[in-house]
Structure 1
């Protein structure tokens, strides 16, 4: 675990990772308040995703979220990583972590621009894509999914289900089987896609590091309570392992 970005990923609380959707949150101006509520409910990482916003608007959203977290959380705000979806230029400009999909800039390209300190996340939808990411050795966090079909991302790959998720996580199980510290050099993992309280416990029982949710928090009448409920379900499932 030589690069600093991987050390940051292993220090982060990934149990509940909230990915924003400006429309579902009630507009881009409403996103910072939803982000603060999600963090107060237990979200340990935030990804800002808005495919319609300009780079300038997304960069401003990063700064707005930084300000509201600092105001609402004080020193603890520094413990909540902010991640930009897809926009390498925005990540470079704001010195924000980055998440890319299979069709976006490659993790290697992003690493050349962002350096060794900022985390790079990568979406994966099959065990083969997971193996390719591990072979490349650049991504710090792998988003694995969708676990279940979701309307939030209409171009997502076929749902993996719990069995497919377990297959994707096989390299981590093998590493831990050899020696518990062997997994320290591997990226962290989060499951995404159609997750709610009824499924989160079963997902947690697979040994994954955390869950990513969008609509379960963004559309909730009380985002803080929704986040707390999801985190509780995840912790319950982890305890059943």
Structure 2
């Protein structure tokens, strides 16, 4: 048995209009990316669908899973590959009924073993732990220790995602602890050298 290699899971910035499709295209071309999460806030569904369209096409072209944050109805409307649910965003069982057996359903579990086990029992395809490091992407209310990744890997086969303030400088501890995916936002989009350069560095790190 060999442990599957940890993979990169990109989370969009809140602003995905303007030249962002070109930025995403360069990032996806720079190295292997497993999934992209479309995360916009305060946008009505028709506008969100319009913003998602070019990004979803890019992900399809690069064989990258396109996951919608929080919104099951939007995920259904645009035919996304799946949905990521926060603790207040609905039941994974409801998402499964709406989106079908092939949908990828992820659940935010913060630093809680109990929430992660509940998500697994409800049929989630992955659980997300964090935040592991300080982040400016969102307000951090829960801090996780890398040990929770090791505990999860020792107990369950369901993939786990590490999230929160991850950069190429601090990611190795999470990979070593057993993260199946690194969910990264600011560590790519805010990189001084550009998103493509950041993805290329993550690619080298994850390739070992």
Contact 1:83 1:98 in 2 (8 A): yes
Partners of 1:216 and 1:192 lie apart in 2 by 11
Partners of 1:110 and 1:119 lie apart in 2 by 10
Question: Does 1:210 pair with 2:195?
Answer: no
> SS state of the match for residue 60, structure 1?
helix
Contact 2:149 2:160 in 1 (8 A): no
Residue 71 (structure 2) aligns with: 87
Question: Does 1:28 pair with 2:9?
Answer: no
Q: Tell me by how many angstroms 1:14 deviates.
A: 6.2
> Aligned in 2, Cα 1:106/1:13: closer, same or farther, shift over 3 Å?
farther
Residue 162 (structure 2) aligns with: 191
> Aligned in 2, Cα 1:143/1:90: closer, same or farther, shift over 3 Å?
same
Deviations 1:183-218 (A, max 9, x none): 2xx2x2110001111211111001211200111111
Partners of 2:152 and 2:189 lie apart in 1 by 32
Q: Please, which runs of 5 or more residues in structure 1 have no aligned partner?
A: 1-11, 176-182, 237-241
Question: Does 1:55 pair with 2:59?
Answer: no
Q: Tell me by how many angstroms 1:122 deviates.
A: 0.8
> SS state of the match for residue 21, structure 1?
coil
Give the CA RMSD over aligned residues. 2.1
Superposition TM-score, scaled by structure 1 size: 0.76
> Within 5 A, what are the aligned runs for 1:121-132?
121-125=106-110, 126-132=112-118
Flag the structure with higher helix content: 1
The number of residue pairs the alignment matches comes to 201
Deviations 1:21-75 (A, max 9, x none): 133xxx52333222222211222211110012221122122221133456xx5xx
> Aligned in 2, Cα 1:230/1:92: closer, same or farther, shift over 3 Å?
same
Contact 2:36 2:59 in 1 (8 A): no
Question: Does 1:17 pair with 2:9?
Answer: yes
Contact 1:127 1:168 in 2 (8 A): no
> Within 5 A, what are the aligned runs for 1:94-133?
94-96=78-80, 97-125=82-110, 126-133=112-119
Residue 30 (structure 2) aligns with: 41
> Aligned in 2, Cα 1:13/1:55: closer, same or farther, shift over 3 Å?
farther
Partners of 2:5 and 2:17 lie apart in 1 by 25
